[in-house]
Structure 1
Amino acid sequence: MAVTKPMWNHTGEYSCWVQTFESNDRKTAKVIVIVPESDFHLQYRTDHEGIVHIRCNVYNISPEPRLSVILGNDRIVDGTLKSTQASNGLYITSRHIKIPQSDIFPESNINCILSIPKTNYTRRKEVVYFEQPIPSDPSEHEIEDFSSPVFSLGPFHHNGCDTATSSRRITWFIPFLILTVNILISIFNNNNYHKVVSKESSSSSLS
């Protein structure tokens, strides 16, 4: 079995049923069709109150991803998570973190980890934090509304480097190859068993 043009909505449980004169078998497996992201960004900036805004955005991905932001080596920060599914079935997801500038060490690593639950699909963006001067004029870097998952905070610094590249193609995890092979082996062994039994019966009759 092969799906030549898998789509995001092909995700689900699939069953394979094989029947012969001697026996039948049925196996079910979970199939997750992954549409890789079109864009993945990690940025930060400092506002007039000395608050560092970190944002991680991912666009046009399916299934719905997880975004985790890590400061330094192991400090995970939650922040605000926004996720919206567009009419084409793909997700736009963002995580917004607000941290006082005094709580971040200069030249600390900031990582954003993108993952899809129940798969081994992961991507990572990383930037190095450099302390920025605090703007004196609040309107210079006005903070926009964060009610939408697609937001802008004005001039950000460091778009991040991607430690794993992904092409714009549909990637899917489908265990049907192993499933089908196992079923065929089972049927083959079963048929051989019946042939051996049949030969032994014929030999007994001739004797």
Structure 2
Amino acid sequence: MNLTLRNIWMPSNLFAALFLGLILSGGEGVKIKEIKVPDVVLNGTKPVVLDCDYVLDDPAGLVVKWFFNNHPAPVYQWIFKQKPQVLGVLKGKINLNYRATNEEFTMYRAIEIITPTMDLSGEYKCLVSTFDQEVSKSKKMIVYVPEKSLEVTQEKPREDKVNITCEAEGVYPEPNMTITALESKHTGYIQVTTRKQNNSSLYDIKGTLSVDDVELSSPTTFVCELSIPDAHYSNRRELVYFPGPPTTPSGVDRIAETLPSSGASGTTLSPSILSMFALLLSILISRTGL
């Protein structure tokens, strides 16, 4: 009796073991070798391709989907032997005629974005599925916008102090800013404010560095650097500053500035008369101490 039971159950156990072994050690089914997504793209430039390079044993039930920023609905879908479909944020922005390869199992695996824009920055996930298996890989792409303007200026709140201000407008994604003095070891506090423009994802940024003149050499070169860390982008402006009180015109210069030139009231003074008049004023000022 025991022998009979063993003869009955052994084939079933053997079949189960063989089936399990086939699953565990058999073909790979489908495997994504590489997802090719550019790390950084300049806003509004030439087309970019997002590619999902995979291999598979059996194309039965093959579907390729692309997802954007973990949204549950795909932005691109290709069902084997059907035309690809574009949905959501990529609708109207994809070249549906683009083919990654000429192989029927992989030709529509990639998407070509015609004009990358900053709203397409984010994480892209490629999902490849068959009746037997489903695999996916993700990668992030940044579409950046360089500054519309970048300026650095100086202002003297006191004779012995200077404020260096750097401003940039229209940047994406969120930027950073630094201001440094090349000829000085000054590492003072830099006040940086960043804000989003109204009804836009673009950023404006402003940095201000306050420095006492005594800490600076003459002249001192201040460097303003704007950077977009996520995009590996930076730009800079320089300003040369001479410490000390603001330069003001002398008494002779101030008076000369008020003299009429010609045509203002019908009176014209010759250069010789102006020179004599300026000389007399200079002597008068030196004697009176004005």
Paired letter, 1:18: V
The residue that corresponds to 1:69 in the other structure is 179
Q: Does 1:104 align with 2:216?
A: yes
1:76/1:119 Cα in 2 relative to 1: closer, same or farther (>3 Å)?
farther
SS of structure 1 residue aligned to 2:236: strand
Question: How far 1:129 sits from its partner (Å)?
Answer: 1.9
> SS of the counterpart of 2:155?
strand
Of 109, 116, 129, which aligns to 1:6? Answer: 116
Unaligned runs of 5+ in 1: 137-207
1:79 matches 2:217: no
| Aligned residue number for residue 89 of structure 1 | 201
Instruction: Note if 1:125 corresponds to 2:244.
Output: no
SS at match of 1:30: strand
Partner Cα distance (2:194, 2:132) in 1? 52
Q: Which runs of 5+ in 2 are unaligned?
A: 1-110, 249-290
Contact 1:69 1:76 in 2 (8 A): no
Is 1:39 the equivalent of 2:161? no
Partner deviation per Cα, 1:24-54 (whole Å, 9 max, x = no partner): 6422011111011100111213233422010
Query: What TM-score comes out, normalization by structure 1 length?
Result: 0.57
Runs of 4+ in 1 over 3 A off after TM superposition: 18-25, 73-78
Residues 10 and 40 of structure 1: is their aligned pair in 2 closer, same or farther, counting only changes over 3 Å? same
Partner Cα distance (2:112, 2:211) in 1? 49
DSSP 3-state at the match of 2:147: coil
Aligned residues: 136
2:101 alignment partner in structure 1: none
Q: What is the RMSD of the two structures over their aligned residues, measured on CA atoms? A: 2.4
The TM-score normalised by the length of structure 2 is 0.42
**What is the CA distance between 1:22 and its match in structure 2?**
8.4
Q: Is the 8 A contact 1:66 1:115 kept in 2?
A: yes
Q: 1:69 Cα deviation (Å)? A: 0.9
2:164 is matched with 54
Residue identity opposite 1:88 in structure 2: S
Q: Distance in 2 between matches of 1:58 and 1:114?
A: 8
Code of the residue aligned with 1:108 in structure 2: it is T
